């Protein structure tokens, strides 16, 4: 199937026309590839910068979240392109395969502003997905959280950490793996084991992914706050005072969100939340048929411009809880950041740091544009 590009002067650093495996072995592409070839960072624009992320000093608390930075080549290129927070794609305690190709399709919500609203009928009735990429960009995220073996990703993560320049931080992402026959205690222990493997690389902080279908089709760990609380307790027993942030999907219930905060931050196991990941939607082609091939892939997470409103809402709700409960935790705003204005909106909503995945994939200069706007 040929991919049609309706935008000019760009080449995404993750090539959606290649398999995940090819991207891992051959990428990154576009401007990210060029900065690796040159061996030097792109010159920074002037602007007001300076801040911190989970206690680490950074030039600007802006970067790329878990997902598109597959290995140390990607994270190093991100650093050189001015993204001062580069998240190493989520790793596991064992090798884990990727969903079949294709993984990324362009998504076209029916709403006039191109947004998806959690709980709306469109998410179940079907959202058009095809290969016609256009602005404002929204895409499917149907990878299944692949991972290399620890013997592969641990040395590569060490190299990624070492490549950070002053004022930049490598952010490792990890998650537990639920396999057939595994007890809940084993599942908790697998998170702790993976966190220990990450800590062994010299990581200064880490993010635990609770926002992908870890426990079966379309079931999210973050929708079980009490289990997340038990897992983060086990993880902190392994990593000690290393700061831990957890990645959340959209949580509709205010009571559930408060329970998440109380079960983690309230118990001293978590120092921050990163939100949101994606919004789950049934994706269909122009004829109304399943857009992504294969069993269990009728739905996919959608990211990009379409989820900006939901991401901002989650940040506002977390900021309000932080103030009402008198708790101290960081908020990392993610979802639909494609411009300096979007960065500013997240900061105004209460985010301490901001990240962009889809926006950064389609605009390698996004970090420089944001810094120039400050």
Joined tokens for residue 29: 């592409």
- Distance, in Å, from the CA atom of 200 to the CA atom of 66, rounded to the nearest integer, reads 19
Residues 263-266: contacts with CB within 8 Å, 24+ apart?
263/225, 263/226, 263/228, 263/229, 264/225, 264/228, 264/229, 264/232, 265/327, 265/328, 265/329, 266/325, 266/327
Residue closest to 332 by CA, chosen among 248, 251, 235, 211: 248
Residue identified by tokens 């595994």 is 182
Interhelix angle 72-80/30-38, nearest 10 degrees:
80
3-state class of 308 per DSSP?
helix
195, 224 Cβ separation under 8 angstroms: no
Alpha helix stretches (DSSP H) within 219-307: 225-239, 254-264
Instruction: Assess whether 303 carries a catalytic annotation.
Output: no
- Distance, in Å, from the CA atom of 332 to the CA atom of 124, rounded to the nearest integer, reads 28
Sequence-ordered strand ranges (E) for 137-266: 138-141, 169-174, 206-209, 244-248
Joined tokens for residue 239: 């990593």
- Distance, in Å, from the CA atom of 274 to the CA atom of 305, rounded to the nearest integer, reads 17
Among residues 98, 212, 222, 303, the one annotated as catalytic is: 212
Q: Positive or negative, the Cα torsion across 309, 312, 318, 324?
A: negative
3-state class of 118 per DSSP?
coil
| Rounded (to 5) percent helix, strand, coil in the chain | 35, 20, 45
Neighbours of 368 (CB within 10 A): 18
Joined tokens for residue 333: 């705003």
**18 forms bridges with which residues in the sheet?**
none
Beta strands at 106-108 and 272-275: parallel, antiparallel or unpaired: unpaired
303, 327 Cβ separation under 8 angstroms: no
107, 191 Cβ separation under 8 angstroms: no
Give the catalytic positions in this structure.
212
């Amino acid at each position: 199937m040929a991919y049609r590009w309706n935008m000019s002067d760009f080449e995404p650093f993750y090539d959606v026309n290649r398999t995940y495996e090819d991207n891992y072995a051959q990428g990154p592409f576009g401007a990210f590839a060029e900065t690796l070839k040159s061996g030097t960072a792109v010159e920074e624009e002037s602007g007001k910068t300076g801040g911190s992320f989970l206690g680490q000093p950074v030039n600007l608390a802006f970067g790329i979240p878990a997902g598109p930075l597959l290995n140390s080549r990607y994270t190093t290129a991100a650093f050189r392109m001015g993204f001062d927070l580069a998240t190493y794609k989520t790793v596991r305690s064992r090798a884990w395969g990727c969903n079949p190709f294709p993984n990324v399709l362009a998504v076209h919500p029916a709403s006039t502003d191109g947004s998806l609203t959690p709980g709306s009928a469109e998410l179940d009735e079907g959202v058009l997905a095809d290969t016609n990429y256009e602005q404002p960009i929204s895409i499917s995220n149907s990878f299944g959280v692949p991972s290399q073996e620890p013997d592969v990703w641990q040395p590569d993560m060490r190299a990624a950490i070492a490549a950070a320049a002053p004022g930049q931080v490598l952010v490792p992402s990890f998650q537990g793996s639920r396999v057939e026959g595994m007890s809940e205690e084993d599942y908790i222990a697998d998170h702790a084991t993976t966190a220990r493997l990450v800590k062994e690389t010299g990581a200064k902080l880490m993010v635990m992914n609770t926002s992908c279908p870890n426990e079966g089709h379309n079931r999210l760990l973050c929708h079980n706050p009490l289990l997340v609380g038990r897992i983060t307790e086990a993880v902190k027993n392994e990593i000690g005072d290393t700061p831990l942030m957890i990645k959340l999907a959209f949580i509709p219930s205010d009571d559930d969100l408060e329970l998440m905060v109380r079960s983690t931050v309230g118990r001293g196991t978590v120092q921050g939340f990163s939100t949101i990941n994606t919004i789950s939607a049934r994706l269909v082609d122009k004829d109304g048929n399943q857009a992504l091939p294969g069993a269990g892939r009728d739905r996919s997470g959608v990211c990009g411009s379409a989820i900006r409103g939901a991401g901002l809402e989650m940040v506002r709700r977390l900021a309000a809880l932080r103030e009402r409960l008198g708790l101290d935790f960081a908020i990392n705003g993610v979802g639909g950041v494609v411009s300096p204005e979007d960065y500013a909106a997240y900061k105004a909503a209460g985010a301490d740091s901001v990240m962009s995945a889809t926006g950064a994939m389609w605009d390698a200069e996004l970090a420089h544009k944001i810094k120039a706007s400050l």
